[in-house]
Structure 1
Amino acid sequence: MCYRTRVPSLGFAEVAEAAFLAGPKKLQKLSGIAKGTINVFLVIDLLGCCCVYIVFVAENIKQVVDFNSSHDLDIRIYMALLLLPCILLSWVRNLKHLAPFSMLANLLIATGMAITFYYIFTELPAPSERPQFSTVHQLPLFFGTAIFALEGIGVVMPLENNMKTPTHFVGCPGVLNIGMFIVVLLYSGFGFFGYLKYGDDTLGSVTLNLPTEDILAQSVKVMIAVAIFLTYGLQFYVPMEIIWKGLKPHCSQRPALYEYLIRTVLVVLTVCIAAAIPNLGPFISLVGAVCLSTLGIMFPAIIEVVTFWEKDGDQTISCCGNNSAIEGGDDCTKVKGIKSEIPQTTGCTIFSVRACRLVKNTLIVLFGILGFVTGTIVSLEEIVDAFGKPWHP
């Protein structure tokens, strides 16, 4: 889309707007709605992630403090104590200035993960000792939690746009591919071996299962809590940019003051929401089901259909046995596209490129809708049930 629009960089919402503007005429008038919808979901998603971060940090700190003192304070008190540090961190306005915090957080997370794996692999049970499958009712929760791994989708394009050499971000291997490979590997490892170790007692974060009486385990909880806190500013950056871009024209007088005020209000909002839903597992699943199923599954599929609608209009694919061709000439199958030296034979099947792309992306959207509806309902049920029980980290 950058090539089509001749602009150096585009955000997620701008890509959607440009795709609709360059798409079918009937959809061009929806470009503004497409941009606004994605911006709304991005704001909800990333502010929701900030809320999850606050719950996570508060839970880990509470476990350590409660064990080393005679106090058993409500988790919401720890969230309130996090308010001022989060406000100060949110006042960092330049993404480049957040890089040192991110680097320190990565170091702490790497150390914490290594120690966590040490505890997980100590006296690890055999796979036969765990149920191979839970219940169908738990699948929507799994969907929301698993897709929460896509939370970085909102900061992908801003990071690429702020890189010194953006061409290194994508491609093979590329920063994005390497990063996602590592993320998938770590998520899979923690998910499989964490459940193998703790079974149905596994909490919303496996670090909460570590023995609190061990000093080493306490250090992990503190390190991970500090690391997640330091990345709060990175998650906060994109929603603040989206909101401020819309409000800035109305704050011409003393814009800096208004910007800091809005940043403060948003942080207070995330802390209040976190205090209202202090249960990590269902909260993660809810954010994943509501926001990531739309941003990570449905919207990209819709954008692809709209982007290539005109280009795919007169293209077809010819499949003859084990061969296929796009456009031919002379003795080749006569379809538009790239020249392929495949003789024309009987029994060939011709497919419309537009129809194939439409069917593929329709199935993807339907899958996203299914995850959105079921994941949201089950997550809300879990949250409502949690309100009727005494809270335990």
Structure 2
Amino acid sequence: MAGGGQSAAAGVPLLEKSAGASRTQTLGNIIVSVVGTGVLGLPFALRIAGWLTGSVGVIVTGLCTYYCMLLLVQCREKLASEEDSMVKKSYGDLGYECMGRNGRYLTESLILIAQCGGSVAYLVFIGQNVSSMFNGRGLSVASCIFLLVPVEIGLSWIGSLSALAPFSIFAAICNLLAMAIVVKEDIQQAVDGEFSFRDRTAITSNIGGLPFAGGVAVFCFEGFGMTLALEASMKDKTQFPRLLAQAFTGISVVYALFGFFGYMAYGDQTRDIITLNLPRNWSSIAVQIGLCLGLVFTFPIMLHPIHEIIEGNLTKDSTTRMGKLGVYVSRAMVVMVLAVLASYVPGFAVFASLVGSTVCALISFVLPATFHLTLFGSSLQFWQKTLDFFILLCGLLFAVYGTYNAIVGL
């Protein structure tokens, strides 16, 4: 769950056993790979951008993400037809075909950075929630993060992902429960008459709030590393575009409504993780504990693509004693480095916006449009070229300004 969900094939447990997946299985894979902890930062994003502009932004982001996912599928189909090969192309393969070896390095490096960003976001999320549960007892967010390090190192040494896969679904269920409880609290406040539309900002007067909220929205939808794996796993691939459209329509509407209700309930008091706004009762604490436990056990799944890349370059034989020792040491170092980075992150939403504005925007919009223009070229109709160039330009501008805005702060 890089932001939205898990952005590596290993991160979605159903794909491990779903050669020829049905519509229901594929729909489940899409939801697990897209819906993640990032959604809990959407109410804060709407507080920054305004409920109207923020809600529209979430819907637009969902539409653009869906369109660019289809571009990736079209690019792979074109390459497969030209080469008459049954070998399925990965995102990195598309980068190589379009821009050579540097294209592969760029694509895989961005996916690696996005995976690291999602892993750091996991740690920040857990740290902030655990710290809030022990409020007043001197346990800081950084302390909570470092307390997790020995546990995560031990879990990262587990060789079988299938042993951890059920926790991925458990974390997704906890996300849905958290959303349901937040909406319940929102409705309760509405019934009690504790807020009015006049007290809530519809359109922010701070122009910097728009790219900030946009970065959070992109982070929530980021699941591009899974696009080609999802399509390849489906039994009837001709149904994938329609199924993807249905899934993204539902997810976009739920995201927009969730952000809207969350901001309406708490207004200017909306925290960067909405669960921190919940009253200190058994239900909210149980959800926070469930979310944290789910993420603790799915964190190693997020690290799996990182380990694959690092270990592939460190050693050619991991079966020898020295090779195994190198694997253990490298995995421990990865966890420790990510924990140190997470300890310096000022807040979940700020970091989510930064990751969404940088690598997620490049992976989700810039690269798919570039690949599509490169591979199809003159065969594209004028409106297709115009739309691809528009997405490419907007993606670059958003990445530059959104990064600057997230770094300097609002």
In the alignment, which residue of structure 1 is the partner of 2:93? Answer: 14
2:144 equivalent to 1:78: yes
2:195 equivalent to 1:128: no
CA distance in 2, matches of 1:118, 1:296: 33
What whole-Å deviation, never above 9, does each CA across 1:91-130 have from its counterpart, x for those lacking one?
3444444421212222322222222221121112333331
What is the CA-CA distance between 1:278 and the residue it aligns to? Answer: 3.6
Assess, with a 3 A threshold, how the Cα gap between structure 1 residues 141 and 172 changes in structure 2: closer, same or farther: closer
What is the CA-CA distance between 1:177 and the residue it aligns to? Answer: 4.5
Contact (CA 8 Å) 1:55, 1:278: kept in 2 or not?
Answer: no
The amino acid across from 1:202 in the alignment is T
In the alignment, which residue of structure 2 is the partner of 1:334? Answer: none
Higher mean alpha-carbon deviation, 217-226 vs 371-380, is at 217-226
CA distance in 2, matches of 1:155, 1:257: 31
CA distance in 1, matches of 2:343, 2:185: 30
Q: TM-score, normalised by structure 1?
A: 0.75
CA distance in 2, matches of 1:120, 1:194: 6
Contact (CA 8 Å) 1:141, 1:378: kept in 2 or not?
Answer: yes
In the alignment, which residue of structure 1 is the partner of 2:54? Answer: none
What whole-Å deviation, never above 9, does each CA across 1:232-257 have from its counterpart, x for those lacking one?
23322223333333444386854333
Give the 3-state SS of the residue equivalent to 2:240 in structure 1: coil
In the alignment, which residue of structure 2 is the partner of 1:34? Answer: 103
CA distance in 2, matches of 1:354, 1:187: 33
CA distance in 2, matches of 1:355, 1:250: 51
> Which of 189, 194, 204 is the equivalent residue of 2:257?
189
What whole-Å deviation, never above 9, does each CA across 1:19-49 have from its counterpart, x for those lacking one?
x2xxxxxxxxx31111100111111111011
Give the 3-state SS of the residue equivalent to 2:316 in structure 1: helix
CA distance in 1, matches of 2:407, 2:217: 17
Give the 3-state SS of the residue equivalent to 1:10 in structure 2: coil
In the alignment, which residue of structure 1 is the partner of 2:282? Answer: 215
Q: TM-score, normalised by structure 2?
A: 0.72
2:341 equivalent to 1:273: yes
CA distance in 2, matches of 1:4, 1:147: 33
2:220 equivalent to 1:141: no
CA distance in 1, matches of 2:250, 2:324: 39
Contact (CA 8 Å) 1:160, 1:169: kept in 2 or not?
Answer: no
In the alignment, which residue of structure 1 is the partner of 2:390? Answer: 363
What is the CA-CA distance between 1:283 and the residue it aligns to? Answer: 0.7
CA distance in 2, matches of 1:65, 1:35: 45
What whole-Å deviation, never above 9, does each CA across 1:337-376 have from its counterpart, x for those lacking one?
xxxxxxxxxxxxxxxx365443322211110111111111
Larger-Rg structure: 1
In the alignment, which residue of structure 2 is the partner of 1:109? Answer: 175
CA distance in 2, matches of 1:186, 1:83: 34
Give the 3-state SS of the residue equivalent to 1:249 in structure 2: coil
What is the CA-CA distance between 1:168 and the residue it aligns to? Answer: 6.0
In the alignment, which residue of structure 2 is the partner of 1:56? Answer: 125
What whole-Å deviation, never above 9, does each CA across 1:56-105 have from its counterpart, x for those lacking one?
11111111122xxx512221110001112222333344444442121222
In the alignment, which residue of structure 1 is the partner of 2:311? Answer: 244
Give the 3-state SS of the residue equivalent to 1:57 in structure 2: helix
Contact (CA 8 Å) 1:170, 1:177: kept in 2 or not?
Answer: no
> Which of 114, 138, 149 is the equivalent residue of 1:45?
114
Higher mean alpha-carbon deviation, 56-65 vs 99-108, is at 99-108
CA distance in 2, matches of 1:89, 1:173: 38
CA distance in 2, matches of 1:96, 1:11: 22
In the alignment, which residue of structure 1 is the partner of 2:14? Answer: none
Contact (CA 8 Å) 2:142, 2:343: kept in 1 or not?
Answer: yes
Assess, with a 3 A threshold, how the Cα gap between structure 1 residues 279 and 82 changes in structure 2: closer, same or farther: same
Contact (CA 8 Å) 1:16, 1:34: kept in 2 or not?
Answer: yes
In the alignment, which residue of structure 1 is the partner of 2:225? Answer: 154
User: Structure 1 stretches of 5 or more lacking a match?
Assistant: 21-29, 313-352, 386-393
What is the CA-CA distance between 1:136 and the residue it aligns to? Answer: 0.9
> Which of 232, 242, 259 is the equivalent residue of 2:299?
232
CA distance in 1, matches of 2:227, 2:289: 28
Assess, with a 3 A threshold, how the Cα gap between structure 1 residues 358 and 181 changes in structure 2: closer, same or farther: closer
The amino acid across from 2:338 in the alignment is T
Contact (CA 8 Å) 1:155, 1:235: kept in 2 or not?
Answer: no
Contact (CA 8 Å) 2:215, 2:355: kept in 1 or not?
Answer: yes
2:154 equivalent to 1:88: yes
Assess, with a 3 A threshold, how the Cα gap between structure 1 residues 152 and 87 changes in structure 2: closer, same or farther: farther
In the alignment, which residue of structure 2 is the partner of 1:324? Answer: none
What whole-Å deviation, never above 9, does each CA across 1:259-284 have from its counterpart, x for those lacking one?
33222211111111000114112111
Length, aligned pairs only: 325
In the alignment, which residue of structure 2 is the partner of 1:23? Answer: none
Give percent identity, aligned residues only.
24
